[in-house]
Amino acid sequence: MNEEIIEGIIDSVKHFTKRAESSIEVDKVIDEIRLLKELDSDDVVNIENSAKLYIELAEKKYQAGLLSEQEYIYYQYYAVVALIHETRWLKGHYSNELNSVSKKMRDIEKLHGLAQEEYWAKGNAPLDYQLLAQEYETVLESKLEEEFIEFASKDVSELFIKDKSKLEALSEIGRRSIFIKDEIERLNDLAVIYESESKVNEDGEAFFSASIMLAAAMEARLIVQCILNREDVRNVLLSMGLSNKKLKSKNPLNWKLNILIEVSANAGWLPDLEIDDIVFSSKMVGHTLRSTRNFVHPGMHVKRKAPLALGKEQFKNMKAAYILVSKLLNWSNNQTQPTADAPDD
């Protein structure tokens, strides 16, 4: 073996050795978390100790390659915001800065005849009240920044300071990755991520990768379409002569993309389109994108003598195909707002 090969092998072994060492550290932190008593909202010290361990666990798992960046950020976001910040706020740790502002806000509410349980709809409060509310939020935001600096990993706290909205967006992806179990929600989230990664690849002129991601997004969304319309799909399968035995599974999650496209076409979701006396087969447009996705398999690629690279103009065909299918099926990319679920070990 030449020196370059030996060096590469040694580097790989070192990498996996470090991963193994980090995994051992993960187990140690988990053992510490199990020794903690159950969280008590009145025990601020115990809550902050728990938060520190959640953050340490996230760091160790990330170093061991067991978490995505998004999950790593979520665990820290949850620990700082939902445990440390909210507990300190509710327990009056910011009273010196907030009490005077709160009193002024209560005085304005009384002046306008609001009962204790009443409040103004957003944007309807008097201007002086809105300014005080903004001052209140500024204090809380300042405290939150201090807590990120004090407790979170340096990279996470720096992202909070530099681009809080990006931090929150990444944290939400991490939260959904950990907690969302519903098949349809996960498929829709996957489709959004595939679309996003396709755009990254397109911008980097990696057009093969961009096309494959679009085809994966189409597959995820077609599975959802079939799951949401089980009765229609059952009738379509009968008309196509596709029994459960032939399909090997009645669950669309197990179908190949070819079947998903054919079922969608027979269900009328991918109809033929007649424009200026020219008939476009949206089904074949879907298959065009599918055929490019299949080139992720090297054997298939070589057998079909496909090009070794995919150019910008060729990718435009793939993108147009995805847009056509997505518009016909009225796909949406809406995602829910962040919530603070408690992380598991």
pLDDT reported for residue 307 = 79
Beta carbons within 8 Å of 273's beta carbon, 6+ residues apart: 279, 280, 282
pLDDT reported for residue 338 = 36
pLDDT tens digits along 282-321:
999 999 999 888 888 888 878 888 778 889 999 999 999 9
CA 330-331-333 angle, to 5 degrees, is 140
pLDDT at 16 over 90: no
pLDDT reported for residue 336 = 34
pLDDT reported for residue 334 = 39
pLDDT reported for residue 333 = 52
pLDDT tens digits along 234-273:
999 989 988 767 777 889 999 999 999 999 999 999 998 8
Rounded CA separation 165/168 (Å): 5
pLDDT at 123 over 90: no
Counting residues of the chain whose pLDDT is more than 70, the rounded percentage is: 93
Rounded CA separation 58/61 (Å): 5
Rounded CA separation 150/90 (Å): 19
Rounded CA separation 153/230 (Å): 47
Residue 237 φ/ψ, nearest 5 degrees = -60, -40
pTM score of the predicted model: 0.81
Cβ count near 94 (within 10 Å): 17
pLDDT reported for residue 1 = 65
Q: How many residues does the chain have?
A: 345
Of the listed ranges 119-128, 145-154, 298-307, the one predicted with least confidence? 298-307
Helix residue spans in the chain (DSSP H): 3-35, 44-63, 69-77, 86-90, 95-111, 127-151, 154-162, 164-179, 183-203, 207-228, 230-240, 244-247, 257-266, 282-293, 298-303, 312-328
Burial class (CB in 10 A: 0-12, 13-18, 19+), 265: buried
